[in-house]
Amino acid sequence: MVVNCQPCGRDVGMGTVGARLKEERERLGLSQIAFADLGGVKKHAQINYESDRRKPDSSYLSLISKEGADVLYILTGKRVDAPRNPTRTEAQMRQTATDIRRSLDQTISIDGSDYATVARFDVEAAAGDGATVGYVENAERIAFRRAWLDRIGVKPKNAALLRARGSSMEPLIWDGDLLMIDTTMTEPRLYRRGRWKGHQDEIFVLELDGDLRVKSVRRPEEDKVVISSENHVRYEPEVYQGDEISRLRFVGKVVWWGHTAV
């Protein structure tokens, strides 16, 4: 559909690149901020693209195509195949990962020491069978000493806080514990016996089929991932191999957690 704008005579609607870009964004269930982040640009650039004030470049188009956008349709108005409308759960998964990674780095000074504030999100990672992911809203920020964050190798802008729910990770992580994740660490290391000491598995917050979980993760082989719980009596390990690994979306590695006995 093309609607002629009078008196300017400019075509708007589905006949423009910007309108089709907006249509694709809405089909994928993403906000302008989230979609801009996927394309490596700021929100104002996304607004300019959708209003046809600017044309998206090849780098942007390449990035959004990896997230499921039909770039051919955006540019030409033609589809090779009818698009598959993602379920709400898939859209929520994308929104969750994107919004968590948008945590900002803010600094405050307390008694002469520098503290970085880390965003806590109103989302919970299930330490059990999994909880359906909802849209993430920034709830508050919690201050940590910058020197301590430097010591554990986490940049404040890459950190996010969320809560664990359930008992599957007890006695390591308890129901209600506050988790800090590094959102740049999204690939489990390939396990090598004797490479590191202590707890042999890494702990990740991950999305699986629309559920957000906190689990121990081991990668014994390049194409094999094992996710498991500390509560071995109630929860069996889950093994994913080959193409099955693509079902796992690692949101971030757990680098710290806090427990209160209340």
pLDDT digits (tens, 9 = 90+) for 204-216: 999 887 788 899 9
Q: Give the tens place of pLDDT for each residue, 90-117.
A: 555 555 555 555 545 566 666 777 888 8
Determine the Cα–Cα distance for residues 100 and 186; give it in Å rounded to an integer: 13
Q: What single letter denotes the amino acid at residue 103?
A: S
Domain ranges of the chain: 2-86, 103-258
What is the CATH class of 2-86? Answer: mainly alpha
Q: Based on the number of CB atoms within 10 Å of its own CB, is 82 exposed (0-12), middle (13-18) or buried (19 or more)? A: exposed
Q: What's the whole-number mean pLDDT along residues 20-47?
A: 87
The answer on pLDDT for 196 being more than 70 is no
| Architecture of the 103-258 domain | Ribbon (2.10)
What does pTM read for this prediction?
Answer: 0.57
